[in-house]
Chains A and B, each alone.
Chain A
């Protein structure tokens, strides 16, 4: 039953939606616009709202005069490995909590919730000291281990919700067909939970791609820096070159924006399946 709303309501809704769109996109527009303005225009007090003399000088500067491509590769590697590892680990963890009644199940749920509560910064110095002993400082493996840990609790929580949304009968049918439990998870559950899994991967990828505090503290070598670290160094080195910075920022945004564009329709669907449940 779709009833037509009065005209003023439709116009009001359209205006509201437009306001949100402008609010969401303006800072991103400004970032890209800045990256395309020639340097002297950036220091003019006459601010242009349109690229009058678009130039790629900042992009060439970033790609040729900085190690940005290396940072970019490191970040892709770290975020990619982190999100896949978290996915596999949290599928099993979430499945266990959703499908089994065992001693410690309730405690597990509380522990997962509690991990969200303490300040991430409390972990920095202790892990620094642990990693110094384990020779994991200044390595990408070390960063990946931290990012996996930071993302596991929320991912397990999401997965548990997804699995609970699938009726047990579907899985039992697979058991009768002779699938082992693990095979049933991979062949029956994972394909039908696709949107939720994609939402989880993107969530973790974005978190790992964005992480800054640990990356700043733990990575010193130029060749191992991730994008956030590379950019903060780059800022002080060039005494805040806004053009170059915004060009680098635009480049850093591309992978997450592409990923996000592909999956956004799964996002709401995926969250509807799982996260809503207490």
Chain B
């Protein structure tokens, strides 16, 4: 009898331990997502609740013909892919530089060079917006001193460069994250593997391609996938710096969803846009995991 009750508690323990996590996730994630999916099939304006009704797929068919949506899709792809690629390349370079051995003042160096990661998005947005200011901003000033431009330029107020401006700020913010994750991955590679490779006569490039990269692959796959999703879903920086402008030039799906929900208070349409973005990311994640064969070895 005693043994039996003990195995009962043992069976229940993991569920009890996970229950607080699930209580939060179900109430404030699963339920709201379910509600959001319902709203996406409704005509739901916040200040016009009496005309609220199910309208089937009307929101979605409206999305297909919405030019702002298609611009936002294009911008989302550019914003996410370019930001991620630059963050990854620079982060990888920094991690390799740091992993190449000790140097005087390394702890302080790391604290400073990783600091952008700790800076809140709204501060990043404001600071870069100020630096990009056409007349009074430092970036315009530096470009003029370098004689790359002759007139002050407003990078964020010009439709052809606004997206590049917000990407620059995002790259600045994201490099430390990648450097930290990749450095952690690099440091978990056993040193003996490099020694063995060196004895076998491998060059340092050879070691990188045959030891470092294969062992780092799981870290790279997980961090690029998570980061891709986060960047695609990250409206804060763009909202602060350009509000998606000028004329939608830096509008991504995330900022468009926020604008339709928060400014126009068109909750139904905003929810439908969210569902589209979610499905897009889901498909992307599935394809990405399929291509990289991630998860085959079991999670």
For residue A130, CB closer than 8 A to chain B, the reply is yes
Q: Which residues of A contact B176 (CB under 8 A)?
A: 24
| Binary interface encoding of chain B residues 112-149 relative to chain A, with 1 for a CB under 8 A from any of its CBs, else 0 | 11111111111110111011010110100100000000
Would you call B299 and A149 a contact (CB within 8 A)? no
Give every chain A residue within 8 A of B181 (Cβ-Cβ).
Answer: 271, 275-276
Most interface-central of A1, A5, A146, A267 (chain B CB within 10 A): A267
| Interface residue tally on A, bucketed by range | 35 or more
Is the CB–CB distance between A16 and B97 below 8 Å? yes
A231 to B107 Cα, complex, angstroms: 32
Given A89-B24, A121-B254, A122-B275, A116 and B123 contact (CB-CB distance below 8 Å)? no
Q: Does B101 contact A (CB under 8 A)?
A: yes
Interface residues of A in 6-21 (CB under 8 A from B): 13-14, 16-17, 20-21
Number of interface residues of B (CB under 8 A): 99
Beyond A117-B281, A232-B240, whether A152 also contacts B257 by CB under 8 A is no
Residues of chain B touching chain A, judged by Cβ–Cβ distance below 8 Å, are 11, 13-15, 17-18, 20-21, 24-25, 27-29, 31-33, 35-36, 39, 46, 90, 93-94, 97-98, 100-101, 103, 107, 109-124, 126-128, 130-131, 133, 135-136, 138, 141, 172, 175-176, 180-181, 183-185, 187-188, 195, 218-219, 221-222, 226, 229-230, 232-233, 235-236, 239-240, 253-254, 257-258, 261-262, 267, 270-271, 274-275, 277-278, 281-282, 285, 294-295, 297, 299
Interface residues of chain A, those whose CB is within 8 Å of chain B, are 1-2, 5, 13-14, 16-17, 20-21, 23-25, 27-28, 30-31, 34, 42-43, 45, 47, 49, 89-90, 92-93, 95-97, 99-100, 102, 104-106, 108-109, 111, 115-127, 129-130, 145-146, 148-149, 152-153, 156, 181, 202, 206, 209-210, 212-213, 216-217, 227-228, 231-232, 235, 242, 245-246, 249, 252-253, 256-257, 259-261, 264-265, 267-269, 271-272, 275-278
